[in-house]
Amino acid sequence: MQGKHLGNRLDALLRPEVLGLALYDPGADPDTLLRQYGLGSVIKLSNNENPYGLSPLAAQAMQRRIALGLGRYPDPSGKALCAMLARKHDVAADRVMLGNGSENLLELLCQALLGPGDRVLTQAPGFSLHEIYPRMMGAHVHKVPCTDTFGFAAAAWRQALAGPLKLVFISNPCNPLGTAYSTRELQTIIGCTPPDCLLVIDEAYFEYAIACPGYPDALALLRTHARPWMVLRTFSKAYGLASLRVGYGIASEPGLIEALHRVRTPYNVNLLAQEAACAALEDTPHLEKSVALVTRERARLTQALRDAGLRVAPSMANFLFVDTGTDARQVVQALHRHGVIVKAWAEPGYQTFIRVSLALPADNDAFLRALLHVVAPA
């Protein structure tokens, strides 16, 4: 039987954890929609990318590198970029590590720490990879829900953190809510996380949130605690390098970084990505322009959606979490016909919600018009 070499026997070869694993949902593909609906253009608001793209300085750095040649392996640990990041964050370089996107670091953390039966805690709603990677290792994932008003459920967190735990994954700001825990709330989590459990704070949207009043300085808080922790950041969002795949982690101690080096693939961050990230770090004007756009558009679109009677979580990130009041998958399908791609949320309790990335004003307006056409036809 052609193409069915293993058939049912494949199930016996695969680890049971892999058999039941959910596939990561990247959202719809723009090219497919263009063809399917004969659209002139598609607006992709499903992956929280930077509409300005990467810094022109990063593009130049890559062009220079291409001219010099790409035939050799890159520096295996990205020393130059790590040194820049260490200086920027005032930590020793042996406490910094690069990943092929910060997702790579999430994966490496799970590979280094978790085995079957281990317990992991994360948020609901939350980032799917905070659940998929632990499950891949056979760990049990428990999720702490937010309150009815998208807030911090203090009692539920205290109770959940009391149990035996290996790893805690939280994103702050939270993907998909966009909301962030305050300093006090983060202090509660840090204080209640068992000392033998690794606390990971995924700050993929840090650069957007740091401009918002009340956003906590997690690195500063964690530095004062003698406990294992890791803070994750990425070049994919505010820096606009999503296609190049570079993220980084800062750890409580060099030993944790060393463990991750042992489980990673030796050249996990490619040379162009390393060079582009170094250049992007230096281009403060591009970052500021990108954050300013989001700050303006976030306030404007939140207000417009609320004025239309829709519930929107208060966001500190470059996306909004919106209750459409109806099956989000149907809303997303209908939006496709208008040439707009957003993400339908699939977690129980949130299946009427969509997550929409903030983009250029005209694209945000096109989304708003299409959404109001779909959910509230006149």
The single-letter code of the amino acid at 7 is: G
Return the residue of 28, 78, 97, 101 that touches ligand PLP, per CB under 6 A: 101
Residue selected from 123, 171, 268, 315 as contacting ligand PLP according to rule CB under 6 A: 171
Minimum distance of ligand PLP from residue 376's CB (angstroms): 29
How many other CB atoms sit within 10 Å of the CB of residue 159?
A: 12
Other CB atoms closer than 10 Å to residue 297's CB: what's the count?
Answer: 20
With CB under 6 A as the contact rule, the residue among 33, 45, 54, 103 that binds ligand PLP is 103
Cβ neighbours around 31 below 10 Å, total: 9
Lay out the site mask for ligand PLP across 316-355 (x = CB under 6 A, - = otherwise): ----------------------------------------
**Which CB, 55 or 375, lies closer to ligand PLP?**
55
Closest residue to ligand PLP using C-beta atoms: 101
Radius of gyration of the chain (CA): 21
Query: What is the full DSSP assignment across 62-95?
Result: HHHHHHH---SPPPTT-HHHHHHHHHHHTS-GGG
| CA 15/CA 32 separation, integer angstroms | 33
Q: Is 50 in the site for ligand PLP (CB under 6 A)?
A: no
46 contributes a contact to ligand PLP by CB under 6 A: no
CA–CA dist 16, 50 (Å, integer): 38
When binding is defined by CB under 6 A, the residue of 55, 122, 236, 352 that contacts ligand PLP is: 236
In angstroms, the CA 143 to CA 120 distance is 9
Residue 98, classed as helix, strand or coil, is strand
Window of 5-13, 76-84, 97-105, 362-370 that interacts with ligand PLP by CB under 6 A:
97-105
Angle value at C-alpha 280, between 275 and 282, nearest 5 degrees: 105
Please state, in angstroms and rounded to a whole number, the distance separating the CA atoms of residues 313 and 178.
7
CB atoms within 10 A of CB 51: 20
Q: CB 86 → ligand PLP: shortest distance, Å?
A: 19
Query: Minimum distance between the CB of residue 202 and ligand PLP, rounded to whole angstroms?
Result: 5
- Residue where the block lists tokens 């609906």: 37
The count of residues interacting with ligand PLP (CB under 6 A) is 13
Under the binding rule (CB under 6 A), the answer on residue 234 touching ligand PLP is yes
Residue 290 touching ligand PLP (CB under 6 A): no
Pick one of 132, 146, 204, 316: the residue that binds ligand PLP (CB under 6 A): 204
By CB under 6 A, name the one of 127, 152, 181, 345 that touches ligand PLP: 127
**DSSP letters for 193-260:** S-TTSEEEEE-TTHHHHTTSTT---HHHHHHTS-S-EEEEEESSSTT--GGG--EEEEESSHHHHHHH
Stretch that binds ligand PLP, among 79-87, 95-103, 134-142, 334-342 (CB under 6 A): 95-103
In the complex, the smallest distance separating the C-beta of residue 101 from ligand PLP, rounded to whole angstroms, is 2
**Residue among 242 and 328 whose Cβ is closer to ligand PLP:** 242
- Least distance (Å) from ligand PLP to the CB of residue 205? 7
Contact positions vs ligand PLP (CB under 6 A): 48, 101-103, 127, 171, 175, 202, 204, 234, 236, 242, 247
